[in-house]
Amino acid sequence: MKIIDFKYYKTSILLTIFIIVSSFFLNELFQQIIAFLLIFSVGIIHGANDINLIQKKSQISNNLFFIKTLFLYILIVLLGCFSFFYIPSIGLLFFIFFSSYHFGEQHWEEKIKKIKVSRLIKFIFYTSYGSIILNFLFFIKYEEVKNVIYTISNYKIPIEVFQFISFFSIIIFLSFILSFKKMRYYFFIEILTIVLMLFLFNFTTLILGFGTYFVLWHSFPSMKEQIKYLYGSYNFKNLLFYLKSSFLYWIMSILSLFFVKIYFIIPESFLIPLFFSFLAAITFPHVLVIGRIKGSI
């Protein structure tokens, strides 16, 4: 059974506590600035190497394969954008569902690799864990989330929906983790993590709470796994290789968002909904790539 990387785990806890304490001294604007800096740097970069990951998995690196892969990747992103503009309720639902599964998969895949359960059970477990995190955030920041969802989809979701999904996800999560002796090792660690997230979401803004979890608890660990997969080991030299190969895709992602903001003259009130729509669009192909690498898709 793989043991938790306690060094990184303790670092994540300390940084999360630091952000919680700092939030008492920072107004909403500064919290948003910090959140966007985190997400637009590490958060976006962690998904900017997807083409290289596909090439590594397929063991094909010729130009034709690269062009086909890039075209398919961009097509999926555009389909995601299309869904948010023309069928926003469906696009939003898929974003929450994909994100819940993706967060859970990244967090648990290595920990339960040796447990013999079906892909379906793992899929349900991963989704339940990610759903706990997201729905706790949605429940705690309900008023802000309600406004964001309404701006995107023109729907007002009752708070009871988030309460029900959270309760149902907790039942699934606890049933799984307590059913396997090897999993009980993680029980108190994960409860501590979830409680810490509750404090984070309660004392920070919506965007900073999400950004802190997304970067410290998802993006950094994912980057580390990707670097090991691409280059064989995680070290400073390979980290630089990873950042170098990510740079072009990262710049393209950032520029595309600013282009939409300027070209369509997006009002300030729509910036947060635009941000989540953008994040959703690039999430769809990334989830498929990582699932393919891990063999779950």
> Position of tokens 């029980």?
187
Q: Which residues of 210-232 are buried (b: 16+ CB within 10 A; e: fewer)?
A: bbbbbbbbbbbbbbbbbbebbbe
Read off the pLDDT of residues 127-157 as tens digits, 9 standing for 90 and up. 999 999 999 999 999 998 888 888 777 778 8
Whether residue 118 is predicted with pLDDT greater than 80 in this model: the reply is yes
Specify the range with the lowest mean pLDDT, choosing from 3-7, 91-95, 167-171.
3-7
Confidence of residue 262 (pLDDT cuts 50, 70, 90): low
Residue scoring higher pLDDT (132 or 180): 132
Would you state the structure tokens that stand for residue 7, as one six-digit string? 């060094």
Give the list of residues 6+ apart from residue 257 with CB closer than 8 angstroms, or none. Answer: 274, 275, 278
Alpha-carbon distance 205 to 179, whole Å?
A: 36
State residue 2's pLDDT score.
Answer: 47
pLDDT digits 0-9 by tens, 17-47: 999 999 999 998 899 899 989 988 888 888 8
Q: How confident is the model at residue 1 (pLDDT cuts 50, 70, 90)?
A: very low
Q: What integer pLDDT is reported at residue 296 of this predicted model?
A: 63
Task: Report in angstroms the alpha-carbon separations of 128 from 36, 97, 169.
Answer: 27, 10, 5
How confident is residue 112, by pLDDT bands cut at 50, 70 and 90? confident
Q: What is the mean pLDDT of residues 261-287?
A: 67
Q: Is residue 290 pLDDT above 60, yes or no? A: yes
Question: Using N-to-C axis directions, what is the helix angle for 88-108 and 119-140, rounded to 10°?
Answer: 110
Q: How far apart are CA 34 and CA 41, in angstroms?
A: 11
Q: How far apart are CA 156 and CA 176, in angstroms?
A: 32
Model confidence at 196: pLDDT above 60: yes
pLDDT at residue 182 in the model: 72
Per-residue pLDDT, 284: 79
- pLDDT value at residue 184: 74
Which residue is associated with the tokens 């282009």?
259
- CA of 97: how far to CAs of 129, 133, 225, in Å? 11, 12, 23
Residue 210 pLDDT more than 90? Answer: yes
User: Looking up tokens 């170098």, which residue turns up?
Assistant: 244
In eight-state DSSP terms, residue 2 is P
Query: What is the arithmetic mean of pLDDT over 248-258?
Result: 79
pLDDT of residue 133: 94
- Residue 131 near residue 163 (C-beta atoms within 8 A): no
Provide mean pLDDT across the span 220-234.
91
For residue 261, name the pLDDT band (cuts at 50, 70, 90).
low
Read off the pLDDT band of 119 (50, 70, 90).
confident
What residue type is 237 in one-letter code? K
What is the reported pLDDT for 172?
92
Residue % of the chain over a pLDDT of 90: 32
**Structural domain boundaries of the chain?**
6-294
- Average pLDDT value for the chain: 84
Q: Quote the tokens at residue 254.
A: 């950032």
Segment 221-232 mean pLDDT:
91
For residue 268, what pLDDT is reported?
55
